[in-house]
Every structure is written in structure tokens, then in C-alpha cells.
């Protein structure tokens, strides 16, 4: 199971990983969330960037892999990192995550599940209050809803 540990500058123990997360709204401003198979938590679709791809390509690829949806990135919502957070994966690898959160729109495909997801659907902020959410993903949605021109750096 993927674990998240907190402690002063704990992130220094992990290897730097750059990742993306997609914020995809429906017409009612509900956001697409997936439930992770590794820890049961709800999260924005996304994952690690591969060498040689743009942030937009990584985001679009991860959404397709996890949900079956084709998306197009519209804007950068924010850059998120926390030097006091360390992610430990089931294989023992430790990571310090820097996440680029990108708003995207659906351009095709059909919502489905993958080996990484057990459930998927669109949820309001109020519904997220009752869900077990992955670290600061709700904050990213709140930031996206502010619709400000400048990206957040947190």
C-alpha cells in the first residue's frame, strides 16, 4: 500500500518525482475522481511524467490510462510540493513529489476503470468532504474553482 509520511524535511529522503494531476469538470462543476487500488483513497487522475514528454502529454496519457477518457489540457492550475511529505510505494521506493495540476477537458473516450482504479465518477466539493481523499487533491480542486489567471505555487 502506498503510504504518505510527514516530518520536517522528510522529503529529502525520497527521489524527486515530477507528476501531473488532471482536474476535469463536468457541466455542473463537479470534478472527476478515481479511487486508487493501492490504498482505497480518492484522487484526481494523474501520475508520473515520463522522460521526453511534455507536462500536457503526461497528463493526457495518465488520464487515458486510468479512465479511458481522451482529454486536452487547458491550463496550469498550480505547482504543488511539500518538503515535509514523503511518499513510500509498495515496492519500497521513496519519492518527493512535485505535482503540476492541470485543468483538462474531455474530448473523447468512455469513462471506465483500469488496474489502478476501482471506481470513478464526478463529485462536488461537498461530496468530497465525506470521502477519504489523497493528499491535498481537494485543495487543488478548490484552487481550480477560483479560476485565477496565475498559477498557484504551493
Active-site residue, from 53, 105, 119, 129: 119
2-to-37, 86, 137 alpha-carbon distances in Å: 10, 11, 16
Helix (H, G, I), strand (E, B) or coil at 141: helix
Q: What are phi and psi of 15, to 5 degrees?
A: -80, 135
DSSP 46-115: EEEPPTT--HHHHHHHHHHHHHSEEEEEEEEEEEEE-TTEEEE-TTS-EEEEEEEEEEEEEEEE-----T
119 is catalytic: yes
Helices (H) and strands (E) in the chain, counts: 3, 10
Q: Rounded to whole angstroms, how far apart are CA atoms 112 and 45?
A: 12
Catalytic residue IDs: 119
Amino acid at each position: 500500500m502506498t503510504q504518505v509520511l510527514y516530518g520536517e524535511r522528510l522529503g529529502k529522503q525520497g527521489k524527486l518525482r515530477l507528476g501531473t494531476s488532471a482536474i476535469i469538470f463536468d457541466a455542473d462543476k463537479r470534478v472527476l475522481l478515481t479511487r486508487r487500488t493501492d490504498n482505497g483513497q480518492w484522487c484526481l487522475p494523474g501520475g508520473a511524467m515520463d522522460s521526453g514528454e511534455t507536462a500536457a502529454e503526461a497528463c493526457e496519457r495518465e488520464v487515458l490510462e486510468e479512465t479511458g477518457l481522451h482529454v486536452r489540457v487547458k491550463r496550469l492550475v498550480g505547482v504543488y510540493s511539500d518538503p515535509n511529505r514523503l511518499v513510500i510505494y509498495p515496492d519500497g521506493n521513496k519519492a518527493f513529489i512535485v505535482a503540476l495540476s492541470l485543468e483538462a477537458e474531455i474530448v473523447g473516450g468512455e469513462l471506465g476503470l483500469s488496474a489502478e482504479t476501482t471506481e470513478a465518477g464526478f463529485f462536488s466539493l461537498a461530496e468530497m468532504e465525506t470521502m477519504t481523499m489523497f493528499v491535498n487533491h481537494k485543495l487543488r480542486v478548490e484552487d481550480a474553482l477560483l479560476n485565477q489567471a496565475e498559477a498557484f505555487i504551493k
